[in-house]
């Protein structure tokens, strides 16, 4: 008996919906705890880990879109346990935080593009999840920020790496040290998001981007994604060496010939990932 598909799997504080595009699948993942601004509950975290594991095995998956149940994207981690256990030793807290980070950042293990549809407030760890995605769209009036230090916390969820990588060191120092919050509109100028839109247009635009990805050649897309992740190549020559090999791989695919034939015939190509 085949395993239950990810879009039929029961999840708590999380929803996963499937969309078909160009013969492939798009996952639309919704953080679903609106009464708590979609904070990352224990149940949501467990559901997220389970879902990411299932998504990794879906060979027809083209892209993943992450959003929040209105009106927020995510208010961040649920830190109520800190208040309940103020005397926990540093070693125990470190172990707990690492497990939490790795659970949520498992989205970075997916080999398909991931898109954050920031429909509302994305604060702290909630912002970190958006930063962990490959592409971000935001509501123009969304509130985005990493005010860890204003709570007495050191930044977490790899934000001291992801913010400089995405927006540069000057922006990272500004947001991480001052804790100030920015709107989706300002976030575009800072390089944090690609586009700011009216709230009701954010998810449709993210899904439209996912559909464009689904229509592209799967092998070429995955290789391009690997080239761009983790800050890209260390040197100019590393980029040349990678591209010479990766482009050669795509030149040997059936999809390349389909793409050329489709362009010549002025029709949409049909790619099969081989």
Given a cut of 70, is residue 187 above it in pLDDT?
Answer: yes
Cross-strand partners of 19: 26
Given a cut of 70, is residue 55 above it in pLDDT?
Answer: yes
Please report where in the chains the tokens 């002025």 appear, as a residue: 266
Given a cut of 70, is residue 2 above it in pLDDT?
Answer: no
Lowest mean pLDDT among 30-44, 77-91, 220-234: 77-91
pLDDT digits (tens, 9 = 90+) for 103-133: 999 999 999 999 999 999 999 999 999 999 9
Query: What would the mean pLDDT of 65-93 be, rounded to a whole number?
Result: 89
Structure tokens at 79: 């830190």
pLDDT digits (tens, 9 = 90+) for 10-21: 999 999 999 999
pLDDT of residue 84: 77
Query: What would the mean pLDDT of 24-44 be, rounded to a whole number?
Result: 97
Angstrom distance (rounded) from CA 72 to CA 83: 24
How much is the mean pLDDT over the chain?
95
Given a cut of 90, is residue 74 above it in pLDDT?
Answer: yes
Question: Sorting pLDDT into bands at 50, 70 and 90, what band is 3?
Answer: confident
Q: Please list, in sequence order, all residues whose beta carbon lies within 8 angstroms of the beta carbon of residue 175, skipping any fewer than 6 positions away.
A: 145, 146, 163, 182
pLDDT of residue 83: 73
Q: Please list, in sequence order, all residues whose beta carbon lies within 8 angstroms of the beta carbon of residue 185, skipping any fewer than 6 positions away.
A: 140, 141, 196
The alpha carbon torsion through 52, 56, 58, 60 (nearest 10 deg) reads 110
pLDDT of residue 126: 97
Given a cut of 80, is residue 267 above it in pLDDT?
Answer: yes
* Nearest CA-CA partner of 36 in 126, 139, 148, 130: 126
pLDDT digits (tens, 9 = 90+) for 131-152: 999 999 999 999 999 999 999 9
Question: Sorting pLDDT into bands at 50, 70 and 90, what band is 162?
Answer: very high
Given a cut of 90, is residue 82 above it in pLDDT?
Answer: no
Percent of the chain with pLDDT over 70: 99
pLDDT digits (tens, 9 = 90+) for 215-250: 999 999 999 999 999 888 889 999 999 999 999 999
Given a cut of 50, is residue 1 above it in pLDDT?
Answer: no
pLDDT of residue 232: 86
* Separation in Å, CA 30 to CA 33, 109, 119, 125, 239: 9, 19, 11, 16, 35
pLDDT of residue 88: 86
pLDDT of residue 81: 72
Which three-class secondary structure string do you get for the chain? CCCCCHHHCCCCCEEEEEEEECCEEEEEEEECCHHHCCCECHHHHHHHHHHHHHHHCCCCEEEEEEEECCCCCECCECCHHHHHCCCCCHHHHHHHHHHHHHHHHHHHHCCCCEEEEECCCEECHHHHHHHHCCEEEEECCCEEECCCHHHCCCCCCCHHHHHHHHHCHHHHHHHHHHCCCEEHHHHHHHCCCCEEECHHHHHHHHHHHHHHHHCCCHHHHHHHHHHHCCCCCCCHHHHHHHHHHHHHHHHCCHHHHHHHHHHHHCCCCCCCCC
pTM of the model: 0.95
pLDDT of residue 212: 97
- Domains, the chain, in order of start with CATH, read 6-215 (3.90.226.10), 218-265 (no CATH)
């Amino acid at each position: 008996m085949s395993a239950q598909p990810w879009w039929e799997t029961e999840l708590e504080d999380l929803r996963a919906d499937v969309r078909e595009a160009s013969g492939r699948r798009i996952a639309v993942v919704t953080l679903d705890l609106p009464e708590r601004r979609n904070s990352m509950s224990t149940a949501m975290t467990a559901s997220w880990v389970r879902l990411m594991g299932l998504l990794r095995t879906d060979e027809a998956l083209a892209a993943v879109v992450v959003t929040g149940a209105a009106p927020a994207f995510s208010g961040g981690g649920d830190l109520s346990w800190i208040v309940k256990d103020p005397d926990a030793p540093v070693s125990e807290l470190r172990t707990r935080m690492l497990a939490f980070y790795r659970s949520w950042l498992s989205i970075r293990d997916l080999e398909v593009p991931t898109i954050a549809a920031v429909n509302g407030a994305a604060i702290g760890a909630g912002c970190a999840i958006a930063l962990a995605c490959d592409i971000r769209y935001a509501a123009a009036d969304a509130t985005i920020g990493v005010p860890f230090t204003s709570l007495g916390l050191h930044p977490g969820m790899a934000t001291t790496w992801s913010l400089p990588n995405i927006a540069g060191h000057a922006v990272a120092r500004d947001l991480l040290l001052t804790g100030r919050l920015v709107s989706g509109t300002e976030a575009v100028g800072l390089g944090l998001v690609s586009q700011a839109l009216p709230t009701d247009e954010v998810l449709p635009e993210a899904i439209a981007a996912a559909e464009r990805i689904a229509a592209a050649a799967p092998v070429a897309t995955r290789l391009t994604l690997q080239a761009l992740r983790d800050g890209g190549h260390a040197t100019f020559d590393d980029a040349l060496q990678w591209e010479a090999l990766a482009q050669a791989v795509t030149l040997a695919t059936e999809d390349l010939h389909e793409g050329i034939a489709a362009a010549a015939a002025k029709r949409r190509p049909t790619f099969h990932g081989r």
